[in-house]
Copies of this chain bind each other. A is one copy, B any other.
C-alpha cells in the first residue's frame, strides 16, 4: 500500500485531473482531503462547529490537529492506497503558510509528493472573474506562488526522501495529465 500527496495551486485543475485519474486507474485509491480530515478531527474535539471557524483555532492547537490528521492518514495508508489532496503552501494576505510543515510531512512519510503545475499565465487566465481565487492578482504573483510551492515541496521531499514529481496540466491537457498521474501513482 502507498501514500501519495497531490498538491497544486487553486486554478491549476487539481479536482478535474484527480477525478479523471481515479476513473482511468484500475487500482483502488482512497482520496483524502487534508483540510476535510482536520475539520473532522476539530469537530470531534468540539473545537469548531463550521469550517469557517477553523481559522480561529490557536496556533498550538492547530498544529496538534494537523499532526493528528497526519497520523490517522498514515495509518489508513497501511491498508489502502491513499491519495492525499492538499497544498504545499497556501497564500494568505499575511504570507505563505506551509501546508506540509515538518511534523506533518514526517508523520505522513509519503512515497510520492506530486505537484500539478501550469504556467502562471494559464493559471491567471483560468482564475480571472472567479471569486474563489482572489489570491491570484497578477501573473508575477502567481509566478512567485509557484516558486514558493515548488520550494516547500522540495524541502518536504528532502525531509522524507519521497519522490517529487511535477506534472504539467496545460490548457486542454487534463486527460494527458491524468494519465501521467496514474503512471506516477502506480510506479
Interface residues of A (CB under 8 A from B): 59, 63, 89, 92-98, 100-103, 105, 111-114, 144, 147-148, 150-152, 154-166, 183-184, 187
Contacts and interface: CB of A to CB of B under 8 A. Distances in A.
A160 B154 CA distance: 15
A112 to B, nearest CB: 6
B151 A97 contact: no
A92 to B, nearest CB: 7
Contacts of A113: 95
26 contacts: A92-B163, A94-B112, A95-B112, A95-B164, A95-B165, A95-B166, A97-B163, A97-B164, A98-B157, A100-B158, A101-B158, A101-B159, A101-B160, A102-B158, A102-B159, A148-B154, A148-B166, A150-B151, A151-B151, A151-B155, A152-B154, A152-B155, A152-B157, A155-B159, A156-B158, A158-B159
A68 to B, nearest CB: 15
